[in-house]
Structure 1
Amino acid sequence: MVKREFIYLWYYFSVQMEQIFGYWALGIVLGSVISVFAKDKIHSIFYIISEKKLGVLGLITASLLGIVSPLCMYGTIPIAASFSQKGVKDDMLAAFMTSSILLNPQLLVYSGALGSTVLAARFIICLLCGIGAGLCIRYFYQGRKFFKFTAFKPAAGRDTDPNLLLRLLKNIGRNIKATGGFFLMGVLLSALFQRYVPADLFANLFQGQKGFGVLMAATIGVPLYACGGGTIPLLQQWMTSGMSLGAASAFMITGPATKITNLGALKIVLGFRHFILYIAYIIFFSLLAGMVIECL
């Protein structure tokens, strides 16, 4: 009996690995290449566009650059702090930082395993969330500072090896170490879900009342999200079992936005009041995005 269950689980595990391992590996390599060879260029472009009075177009560009930036939140905040010291306005920083929290090149590639529709939806809603954050700061905090970067003490940089090839290999190794365990855990949980949770039960839970499904997905995104690579196998199985695109979209907003390491960094630079405003904005936007997609 135990042996048979192990065989079943191994089958589901191996099928899932075959489907998404390539996306995970490609995301690791692409993210490391961008980090080593293009990171400084991305940040230079952001500073240049921040000096121009481009209106909403500037926020769109800032949000796009946040998505293509490969840094984690603890890497993004020191960059944002340096931009702030150079006079970059908080609305531009909000657009850049928000989209950077939600999406990066690695996670964008991982999401390809979910299909082109989910990939496009994730990119668009993360882009819009960054733009929306920038607009909120622009119109509700005119002439007032929103961020407090002086309280943040960044860790020492690790991409310092003068040999670019060694720097790239070290970066790949760090990314594998940081995400590999979560990725394998996600595949294992997906296999367990596929084996032991009836698809009809899950479908009824998320499809019976679409608004409730979006709310539930936004809620479970808070405790369950640990790493983007680890949630892709789960999302793939959940959507196969009946989770709607709207519910998945809500999960893909609240998950990374409330990841505990991101919240820890943001609490430092926001202060309590602005931190609560950030959480409220994320919840509101995730529910709005999910409901809009449900209605399309």
Structure 2
Amino acid sequence: MRWFQLDPGYWLYFAADWCRDELVGTRTGAVGIVFFELFAELWYWLLVGALLSALASHYLPRSRLGSLLSRHRAGSVVGASLLGLLSPLCTFAAIPLVSRVLRSGVPAPPLMAFLFTSPLMNPALFAYTYGALGLEMATARTVTALSIGLAVGLGTHLLQGRGLLALDLLPPDAMPAVAGGSGNLSGVGEPTLARRFARDLAFICRWFTLGVFIASLTATFLSPGLIRSLLGAGSHWSVPAAVALGVPLYACGGGAIPVVETMIRLGMTPGAALAFFIAGPATKFHTVGTLAAVFGRRVLVWYLVVMISGALAWGYLYPFSDNLQVRHRDPFVSSAER
């Protein structure tokens, strides 16, 4: 066996060529070609992202995150926002942690900054975004996440000063049991780095495979004209439409990236893509339900207002350059033309 045959990308491109030869002219073949070629382009970023996620989980476990968030110091909102960018926790898992630390007497502004920043960016998401959409989009997602965290910290301070956000008065029994996010700060029974890597890789592979499959269906059954009319530069409603699409379509950060990459190639504007990336994780149903149960309706409304308005604002402000270029070649070009 030659060395290049050990590369999974070789076999993925081989599968794409098989679909092209054996299923020529069929919708099934078209879906298979896009699926295998897109997976071949991005598979190694799964490994990079899973490794970064495992490292972040290993060196920033809940116990250390809780300790860092509990420190009182100047610039705590800035520090909490930066910590949210590094945290491997999604909102669903961060909610119980923030609730426990809040009830221990830590001020709410930095905790809210951390909670709002966490779902928008982490090291693994940065790697996935960089691999699929390039450095500019990865940087844009990081900048927007940080700006939202800082705005939330300041806004929470102002709202608390006017008595509109009584976060410090949460009852101790307000926190329901959350799978994967019980808020245990003891750090007992933490898995090894290798087990974290295997677990994170298995998790993201499931969602990423689903995302690539949805992207393949999108490329096959949706015309570029339809995408451009709804999400393209000629549509005044491209950003609000992307925010609305984020509610039903966004399931996992890694799984959403192949879908967005495909829609950008079909005509979606970079601003609409960024708005989708902000609104999607904020409006997942289980996150919204848990947030309301733990912190109450006022915090939920505050959360949704900030996230949706932030998605709209940044969607219209972005891109920072004239055109966003995806990192890889067009997946709809046959391998014979590569």
In the alignment, structure 1 residue 96 sits paired with structure 2 residue 110? no
Matched, 1:18 2:40: yes
Give the letter aligned to residue 135 of structure 1: L
Aligned to 1:70: 88
Q: Residue in 1 aligned with 2:29?
A: 7
Q: Which residue of 2 aligns with 1:194?
A: 219
Q: Structure 2 vs 1, CA of residues 153 and 201 (structure 1 numbering), >3 Å: closer, same or farther?
A: closer
Give the alignment partner of residue 146 of structure 1, picking from 134, 150, 167.
Answer: 167
Range 196-205 or range 63-72, more displaced: 196-205
Deviations 1:236-286 (A, max 9, x none): 111111111111111111101111232122112221233123212221111
- 1:31–1:70 Cα contact (<8 Å) kept: yes
Residue 335 of structure 2 corresponds to none
Which aligned pairs between 1:270-289 and structure 2 lie closer than 5 A? Answer: 270-289=295-314
User: Does 1:47 pair with 2:66?
Assistant: no
Q: Secondary structure at the match of 2:296?
A: helix
Partner SS state of residue 53, structure 2: helix
Q: Does 1:124 align with 2:143?
A: yes
Q: Distance in 1 between matches of 2:243 and 2:263?
A: 14
Which one has the largest radius of gyration? 2
State the 1:295 CA deviation. 8.5
Given that 1:160 and 1:167 are in contact with CA atoms closer than 8 Å, whether structure 2 keeps it comes out as no
* Equivalent residue in structure 2 for 1:216, among 220, 241, 249: 241
Q: Render the CA deviation track for 1:62-84: whole Å, top value 9, x for unaligned.
A: 11101101123343223223322
The aligned counterpart of 1:137 is 156
Identity of aligned residues (%): 28
Equivalences for residues 251-266 of structure 1 within 5 A: 251-266=276-291
Structure 1 residue 35 and structure 2 residue 60: aligned? no
Higher helix share: 1
CA RMSD of aligned residues (A): 2.5
Quote the Cα distance in structure 1 between the aligned partners of 2:297 and 2:36: 45
**Residues 12 and 175 of structure 1: CA distance in aligned 2, closer, same or farther (over 3 Å):** same
Number of the residue aligned with 1:60:
78
Tell me, which stretches of 5 or more residues in structure 2 are unaligned? 1-20, 322-338
1:10 and 1:141 map into 2 onto residues whose CA distance is 54
Report whether the alignment pairs 1:185 with 2:210: yes
Structure 1 segments of 4 or more deviating over 4 A? 40-43, 154-160
**Conserved in 1, the CA contact under 8 Å of 2:176 and 2:293?**
no
- 2:55–2:193 contact (8 Å) kept in structure 1: yes
List gaps (5 residues or longer) in structure 1: none
Counterpart residue type for residue 50 of structure 2: I
| Preserved contact between residue 175 and residue 294 of structure 2 (Cα < 8 Å) | yes
The 3 A distance-change label for structure 1 pair 202 and 69 is same
